[in-house]
Structure 1
Amino acid sequence: MPSDSTPDPADELSRLFSTGEAVARYPRVTELLAAVEPPAFTRACHQLARLDPDAVAAAHPDRPAVTVAITGHGTLSTLVPPLTGELARHGILLRPHVSDFDSYVFDLLDPDSDLYGHGADLTLCVLDPMIVFDEVPVPWRPADVQRVLDEKLRTLERIAATFATASRGMLVLNTIPLPRRFTAQLVDHRSRSELGAVWREANARLLRLATSAPNLVVIDTDPLVAEGIPVTDARMSTYAKAHLSAELLARYARETGHLARHSAGRTKKCLVLDLDGTLWGGVLGDDGVEGVELSDSPKGEAFNGVQRAVKQIGSQGVLVAVVSKNELDLVRAAFRDRDDAELREDDFVRVIANWRPKHDNLKELAQTLNLGVDSFVFVDDSALECGLVRSELPGVAVVRVDGDPALHVEKILRDGWFDTPELTADDQQRVVRYQEELVRKDFLDSFDSVQDFLRELKVTVRLAPVQDAEIPRVSQLTLRTNQFNLTTHRLQQAQVRELAAGPDTRVLTIHSGDRFGDNGLVGAVFTRRHQDALHIDNFVLSCRVFSRGIEQTALAAVLEQARTDGLRAVYATYRPSKKNGAVRDLYPRYGFTPGTEDGDTLVFRHDLRLLPDRPEHVSLHEDLQVECDD
């Protein structure tokens, strides 16, 4: 609870809306949303939905916005308020477009429809039980339901195929929940079992549809309903044709908010955990290595479950770190000597244990990993520590896991901070590569000069056109990279594939490695040939490999190839954002001169007369030859 001197977040939200300050202080509104629970959050969602998105965008031009088209079978206007609030909670402005009632087939099968005309980042096709039961005869049997489901799945397959060619955004479907009021209309349990099997098989086919369509996500509603959320409200379904309950739509909106956060490049990258009361019970300094709870008691088993969940998260490319007020040697002994510990020190990208303020340690960790602090999710059981981090580092997502450790996992996972539409091969290696990066930093500290370090690092770069299997990773780089992203254009896989296949556009991948290992696919250059000039439309590079000459090597190779191809100039685009200021001078640094300005976008020109040198310490392997037609 807030203290007497601290305004209640719900009261402050109400005041901002009632006084008309919500637009001007929109960033503060989004901060407060993270600190309120229902029903205050629900009220704020409805108030946010009444704000003019254009007015918010004008007052805060650096605020990312996501356009969401909403279509389906039933009435869906009630989805807009929770969706507005969920996106705002992640600092994202919603631009919604709601289609007419029961227009999803016409909307999505016609590439010239108004829905496609909005160019939405996310298109939500919300499926409800009445999409089936509005079309079954009376009386009906499970076989009748199966026939309708088969027809609907064929239509959805056609929709997915049409969407893949007509839109550059992401299509979101959902599994269809089965309300009891339909199963109960079958009086024999054998028929109920048959209906359940038919329904689940159809949903399984729907879920598998996403495996073959890179720009399709299917939200599984079963885990949401399993939380006790009602599927429908009988009165709203009957009288308003709103066939999914407000509670279920609110949880659906939360899942969609995670996708929007990814689309806007705001996915979190690092889970930072406290130890005492968070990953084990008791106080290590008082109880000793053998005294902290990790097994042999109900609470100990609960903490063991927390460690298992953290290990699972870390196995999928999420960086996991520790920031604890403890003695480092004692912490290392606990991870080393406790046989019942699921986590070991090498599961973490960094273990920080000292008596400094935790927000200072978080800032130092961000510098070490070359990440922004807004990439962090910080988990602690202390209200004081959580409050200090919120106050000192507002960009950090803070999760307080006070009380019962059996609830820790639910609290850590509730907001889907690390959700991504698809894991790439690079994700599986991310933790190892960051650990190798820390070894490189230690290696750097052993040299008197950076040049000596770079010479001994033996950097290699491979520059080549993107391969089909690399498209998910290239899309991910545009979505997740913020610092070295010259235009911050976020591209879905379909957009990358389109650019790679275009007659005048190319997507070049940058792979790097050195004496410590393979860094993998770390960057991409997006080029477009127009008449006798080459345009670099974007250039992205992972923060893991900054300042090693990789960017200079890639850029020099692109310029050299342009001159070899007989082009007269190369134009390059830079669009400033809150995070990419460090690369503002990238192009001038290598011989580009300022050209035109298009709004907030700067265009630079290189005449190809004096090309930048390739760094001597980098070994380049390239395949940039353009195949010419006979």
Structure 2
Amino acid sequence: MSAAPAPPPPAPDPVAELHRSGSLAAEYPRLPALLRDLGEDERQRAGRLLSRLSPDEVLAGNPGIPTVSVAVTGHGTVAGIVPPLTMELARHGMLLRPHVADFGGWLFDLADPASEVYAAGTDLVVCLLAAGIVFDEVPRPWRPEDVERVLAEKVHLLDKLAATHGASGSGTLVYTTMPLPREFTAQVVDHRSRARLGAVWREGNARLLGLMDDHPGLVVLDLDPVLSGPAALAEARLATYAGTPFAADLTAAVAREVAHLARGRSGRAKKVLAVDLDNTLWGGVLGDDGPEGIEVADGRTGRAFRRMQQAVKQLASRGVLVAAVSKNDVEPVREVLREHPGMTLREDDFVRVVANWAPKHDNLRALADDLNLGLDSFVFADDSAYECGLVARELPAVTVLHLDGDPALHAERLLADDWFGVRDLTDDDVRRPGRYREELVRKDFLDSFSSLDDYLRELDVRVELTAAAEADMPRLAQLTQRTNQFNLTTRRLQQDEVGALAGSPGNLVLAIRSGDRFGDNGLVGAVFVRTDGPVWHIDNFLLSCRVFARGIEQGCLAALLEHARAERAEAVAARYVPSPKNGKVRDFYPRNGFDAHGHTEDGTADFRHDLRQIDAVPAHLGLTMRWEREGTR
């Protein structure tokens, strides 16, 4: 009897190979692609290896890597979050610079503005909360009423700590909700008391989640949805002997959520979902099966595709730009989207329907040009391994989701990494898909003119440049976080930081709104100016990519310079800080009359305008200004 063939050797772990060769720090930019194809065990091992790297060593060879500074505190031992958080940030092309607080020191860390957590000047302060902060202080024996009292005290304390951080700290404070372990519910033997305890606990977590309404710099991560997956709450021995409040799987899941938050905060949230149609949004192949033969809503697999369509429609309603990219003839596709009775998604849910036989990576490039967005803003979802592999190879900046296998899992896979997540959603976000559809109509309108000047005259561009009102703060903060191309310094601000600047003497925060013959673009830009001296300083100037090249930026800058001269300023200074995406505006200030006034080796450049000769506002622009905040007269 012949011997069974030897099993194939395991596939090499590329991250481990880089570690063994000593080149992990130097090759850090390759990690998003390498980690994408690793299994969960390999990713955990990668996290342990990456957490041993010195951030300074990585930055020495890769100075352009975005770095996220995170302080971690909480109830018990919290250092376990560092390896998975390091790995998750590396997946998104970012580098972690961690600060881990002492065991159980969360109260001191957050209450004292002189603590190491505040001194670290972090982007994120993550406070891992657990049931122990309540049950460590209830009497023994305890009743649900005792838990209710202590829990209310703790939520009130967390409210005060959030206010302290808002006044004295930097960046975003992150709380977790507190899951209730079965260990405590089982200690009350009657079901009536268990129900009472569950109600008390849920009410406390609801109040904790509600603190976000009062503190713009606070995010509360709800762990209930995380625990609905495979993550266990705690491991009894680690909780008892090491004071580790969360099991490894839950810690990894929390790290994933924190990384998503850091990605959105740094302006790297995705904006476009480009999705295939055949066997992705409906079952079957339209060209072969016809409109009557595809599975849309009925039957077992039809229900799976309806679930996927419902998820995509919900994303579109929350400001995600959804585009169809399909190898099909366009008219049958439009017929299905308009007329098929089982479709949840309709043509108006898409900013663009691209159906042709060109390679999908070419269609994605063209779509990015039409939308004036970078390819790194795109998520591409397709059931075909071939199409996914080709797009990943040709367009490495695009995030590729291979939705293979059972369509009942399509929606879960699409949503798993919260690619489009942001801290706050504004009215402008909700209106974004409609405005981009209008923008594509503008592009078609432009194509009908022989010159850009003729087009701009007919477009009837209207601009308002006004001192920012209180209601503008969420959108202005979001613009600083999400605008990358026309962003002169890429300084990211939270809502409370924008509000503090707008409300302080010697600062002028200007909001830019625009509209034209095709509709209202909303709040599309901002200018941050320090006016507390003879030389005014433009700390940042930013504008949505939706409204480039219409003279809006030149008109607003000219109006600001005229205002500075009228207020008897001697000059206006400005700075350009380079980033991987804002190279197209490096010459914005010199093109508008500013003189060079020094530069550094990293490309940062200072400019100055003496206010003697100011360019005119473009003639095609209808510009109105208001320099004082409403209600300040």
TM-score (ref. length: structure 2): 0.97
Q: What corresponds to 1:455 in structure 2?
A: 457
Q: What corresponds to 1:529 in structure 2?
A: 531
Whole-Å Cα distance in 2 between the matches of residues 498 and 190 of structure 1? 49
How do residues 307-326 of structure 1 correspond to structure 2 at under 5 angstroms? 307-326=309-328
Task: Report how many aligned residue pairs link the two structures.
Answer: 623
Check whether the contact 1:478–1:489 (CA below 8 A) recurs between aligned residues: yes
Q: What corresponds to 2:338 in structure 1?
A: 336
**CA distances 1:424-461 after superposition (whole Å, capped 9, x unpaired):** 11011100100000110111111111100000001011
Q: What corresponds to 1:3 in structure 2?
A: none
Check whether the contact 2:527–2:538 (CA below 8 A) recurs between aligned residues: yes
**CA distances 1:349-406 after superposition (whole Å, capped 9, x unpaired):** 0010111111111111000000000000000001111111111111111111111111
1:473 to 469, 475, 478: 475
SS in 2 for 1:511: strand
How do residues 281-430 of structure 1 correspond to structure 2 at under 5 angstroms? 281-430=283-432
2:272 to 270, 273, 278: 270
Whole-Å Cα distance in 2 between the matches of residues 620 and 8 of structure 1? 65
Whole-Å Cα distance in 2 between the matches of residues 163 and 585 of structure 1? 38
CA distance 1:364–1:8, shift in 2 (3 Å):
farther
2:149 to 122, 147, 150: 147
- For structure 2, the 5+ residue unaligned runs are 1-8
Whole-Å Cα distance in 2 between the matches of residues 599 and 234 of structure 1? 54
**CA distances 1:477-529 after superposition (whole Å, capped 9, x unpaired):** 11101100001111111211111112111110100011111100000001112
User: Is residue 2:250 matched to residue 1:251?
Assistant: no
CA distance 1:150–1:626, shift in 2 (3 Å):
closer
Q: What corresponds to 1:605 in structure 2?
A: 608
The letter of the residue matching 2:330 is L
Whole-Å Cα distance in 2 between the matches of residues 489 and 547 of structure 1? 23
1:24 to 20, 23, 26: 26
Q: CA deviation at 1:9?
A: 7.9
How do residues 171-320 of structure 1 correspond to structure 2 at under 5 angstroms? 171-320=173-322
Whole-Å Cα distance in 2 between the matches of residues 392 and 83 of structure 1? 29
SS in 1 for 2:486: coil
The letter of the residue matching 2:618 is P
The letter of the residue matching 1:143 is E
SS in 1 for 2:439: helix
Whole-Å Cα distance in 1 between the matches of residues 478 and 91 of structure 2? 22
Whole-Å Cα distance in 1 between the matches of residues 210 and 578 of structure 2? 40
The letter of the residue matching 1:216 is L
Q: CA deviation at 1:8?
A: 8.7
Whole-Å Cα distance in 1 between the matches of residues 432 and 258 of structure 2? 25
The letter of the residue matching 1:160 is A
**CA distances 1:91-129 after superposition (whole Å, capped 9, x unpaired):** 111111111111111111111211111111111011012
1:622 to 622, 625, 628: 625
Check whether the contact 1:465–1:506 (CA below 8 A) recurs between aligned residues: yes
Q: What corresponds to 2:5 in structure 1?
A: none
Q: CA deviation at 1:157?
A: 1.0
Q: What corresponds to 1:539 in structure 2?
A: 541
Check whether the contact 1:459–1:617 (CA below 8 A) recurs between aligned residues: yes
Check whether the contact 1:556–1:611 (CA below 8 A) recurs between aligned residues: yes
SS in 2 for 1:417: coil
Q: Which runs of 4+ in 1 moved over 4 A?
A: 7-10
Q: What corresponds to 2:574 in structure 1?
A: 572
The letter of the residue matching 1:623 is R
Check whether the contact 1:9–1:35 (CA below 8 A) recurs between aligned residues: no
Q: CA deviation at 1:598?
A: 4.0
SS in 1 for 2:69: strand
The letter of the residue matching 1:138 is R
Q: What corresponds to 2:3 in structure 1?
A: none
Whole-Å Cα distance in 2 between the matches of residues 492 and 625 of structure 1? 22
CA distance 1:282–1:414, shift in 2 (3 Å):
same
User: Is residue 2:82 matched to residue 1:80?
Assistant: yes
SS in 2 for 1:366: helix
CA distance 1:95–1:341, shift in 2 (3 Å):
same
TM-score (ref. length: structure 1): 0.97
Check whether the contact 2:464–2:624 (CA below 8 A) recurs between aligned residues: yes
Percent identical among aligned pairs is 57
Whole-Å Cα distance in 1 between the matches of residues 213 and 258 of structure 2? 18
Check whether the contact 2:467–2:629 (CA below 8 A) recurs between aligned residues: no
The letter of the residue matching 1:449 is S
SS in 2 for 1:322: strand
Check whether the contact 1:10–1:40 (CA below 8 A) recurs between aligned residues: no
**CA distances 1:596-623 after superposition (whole Å, capped 9, x unpaired):** 1245321011111110111000011101
Whole-Å Cα distance in 2 between the matches of residues 569 and 34 of structure 1? 50
SS in 2 for 1:290: helix
Deviates more, 1:515-524 or 1:8-17: 8-17
SS in 1 for 2:13: helix
The letter of the residue matching 1:39 is D
Q: What corresponds to 2:61 in structure 1?
A: 59
Check whether the contact 1:465–1:508 (CA below 8 A) recurs between aligned residues: yes
